[in-house]
């Protein structure tokens, strides 16, 4: 009985965490460049249940021979192992803001690959799909959080103001200068970890990102005055939230039933009548 109690409780915890992940997706449905998370469910190891019996051996001593008979397997619960972001390309919409940029992926050599803008934070280089940029008081191109957008050489981009042009291949034209945007390519985007504010960080055992122009051999298109929308499917996410809530309720009912049975076992078993 206790085993079933813990199995139902683990199901409730897993569904609660999945619901939190789906709620975060809905909350960021209008965040530019946001990548939806999908909860990865895993089961605890199964147990093989056996029935213990004994057969009498016709001997003068009356020996008993123990026999094990398999009943079947029993699942011991489920848990949400991790939240894995989907790097599927989001829709692109026009904003009319000259500092906005949308990174549109073309042919990628790797199925799990993805392109990113490169930015500089206090903790080092980070990567983002959110092209909602601005120009700070010193004339540098930055994110809305104040992180410098880097060029191909890894330096902050000095625009001097809002008057600049961005070509389809990601070249900023400022006065007589041409500054290539720092675009990075990851052959396996799952090596990146979400850090918040639309930023991704390379995991400790992840493969270093490549220069999208000179090393990766990918095709892309940078569109000025456009933004990539999040890839959250709101209708599907709401349906998933409803199913997750129903699963949570079912586990809750099972847990309540086990609780009632345990209460009866404690109060009634062994009672003298």
Q: Cα–Cα distance between 42 and 33 in angstroms, integer? A: 28
What pLDDT shows up at residue 217?
77
Q: Cα–Cα distance between 148 and 83 in angstroms, integer? A: 28
What pLDDT shows up at residue 150?
95
Q: Cα–Cα distance between 26 and 31 in angstroms, integer? A: 10
* DSSP structure class, residue 190: G
What pLDDT shows up at residue 52?
55
CA atoms within 13 A on the CB side of 199: 21
What pLDDT shows up at residue 53?
59
Mean pLDDT split into 10-residue runs, the chain, 273 residues: 74 89 94 90 62 58 61 67 87 93 89 92 93 93 94 92 90 91 92 90 89 83 94 93 92 84 74 59
The b-or-e profile of 9-43 (16+ CB within 10 A means b, else e) is bbbbebbebbbebbeebeebeebbbbbbbbbeeee
Q: What is the pTM of this model?
A: 0.78
For residue 98, how many other CB atoms are within 10 A of its CB?
Answer: 15
Placement of tokens 């200068």 in the chain: 177
């Amino acid at each position: 009985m206790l085993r079933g109690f813990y199995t139902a409780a683990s199901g409730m915890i897993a569904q609660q965490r999945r619901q939190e992940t789906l709620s975060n997706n809905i909350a960021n449905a209008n965040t530019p460049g946001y990548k939806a998370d999908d909860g990865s469910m895993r089961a605890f190891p199964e147990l093989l249940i056996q029935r213990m019996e004994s057969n009498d051996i016709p001997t003068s001593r009356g020996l008993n021979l123990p026999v094990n008979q398999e009943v079947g397997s029993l699942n011991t619960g489920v848990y949400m192992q991790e939240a894995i972001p989907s790097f599927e390309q989001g829709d692109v919409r026009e904003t009319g803001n000259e500092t906005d940029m949308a990174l549109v992926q073309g042919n990628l050599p790797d199925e799990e690959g993805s392109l990113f803008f490169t930015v500089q934070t206090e903790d080092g280089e980070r990567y983002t799909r959110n092209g909602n940029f601005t120009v700070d008081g010193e004339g540098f191109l930055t994110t809305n959080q104040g992180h410098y957008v880097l060029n191909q050489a890894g330096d902050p981009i000095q625009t001097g103001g809002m008057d600049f042009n961005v070509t389809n291949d990601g070249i900023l034209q400022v006065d007589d200068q041409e500054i290539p945007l720092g675009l990075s390519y990851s052959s396996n985007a799952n090596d990146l970890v979400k850090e918040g504010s639309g930023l991704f960080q390379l995991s400790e055992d992840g493969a270093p990102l490549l220069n999208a122009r000179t090393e990766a051999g990918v095709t892309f298109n940078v569109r000025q005055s456009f933004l990539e929308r999040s890839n959250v499917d709101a209708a599907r996410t709401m349906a998933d939230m409803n199913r997750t809530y129903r699963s949570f309720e079912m586990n809750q009912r099972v847990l309540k039933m086990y609780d009632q049975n345990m209460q009866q076992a404690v109060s009634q078993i062994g009672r003298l009548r």
